[in-house]
Amino acid sequence: MSTVQFAGFSRTNGSLKFRTANEVKRIDVLRKLGDTDVVILQLPSDMSKNEAAKYVLANLAISYADFDTVEAKTLLASIIKDDITLAWSKKTVTVKKANKIKISKRAAEADDVKLTPKQAARVRDEWNAQHAHLSYDGK
């Protein structure tokens, strides 16, 4: 997880943006790109972007007194992810398409075992007993 050392706001084309940085040089870069009202302060410790947004929201009135706090609170509320969402997103897995398995005809036929009807019924009963939790009665 990446961390940031600075957090604040800038205004681009009239809209307020939440900004994070790891170097003071970022303030100059934002100004060169045309951002106005650039206010970025150093955080007390390295934080994730979500933690930085929470910290800025908690210290909005003290550290960012010149900003429109209503607009800033609305922006931060849309950025901050709650801990439940973060916990869920950490469990999200991207599934890739499985490769086809190549198997020879001889190997495939080796798994086919000839069973008598009585043996097949016994194997089926054992399988059903082991997988009873998967069945649906529909009653």
C-alpha to C-alpha distances, 5 to 16, 22, 52, 138, nearest whole angstrom: 20, 5, 9, 58
Does some domain include residue 66? yes
Output the six-digit token pair for 13.
Answer: 């084309």
Same domain, 49 and 9: yes
What is the domain count for the chain?
2
Domain range for 127? 105-134
Q: Global pTM?
A: 0.54
Same domain, 44 and 82: yes
Count other C-beta atoms under 10 Å from residue 21's C-beta: 17
pLDDT in tens, 61-76: 776 666 667 788 888 8
Does some domain include residue 98? no
**Residue 37 has what pLDDT?**
84
C-alpha to C-alpha distances, 20 to 14, 82, 116, 123, 125, nearest whole angstrom: 19, 19, 71, 62, 62
> What mean pLDDT comes out for the span 82-89?
50
Sequence-ordered list of residues with C-beta below 8 angstroms from that of 72, at least 6 positions apart, any chain: 9, 16, 60, 64
**Residue 86 has what pLDDT?**
45
> What mean pLDDT comes out for the span 89-96?
58
**Residue 91 has what pLDDT?**
55
Q: Return d(Cα 8, Cα 38) in angstroms, integer.
A: 8
3-state secondary structure of 79: helix
**Residue 70 has what pLDDT?**
78
The larger pLDDT score, comparing residue 104 to residue 119, is at: 119
93 has a pLDDT exceeding 70: no
Does some domain include residue 69? yes
Same domain, 21 and 66: yes
Does some domain include residue 99? no
Low-confidence winner among 83-87, 94-98, 128-132 (lowest mean pLDDT): 83-87
Does some domain include residue 139? no
25 has a pLDDT exceeding 50: yes
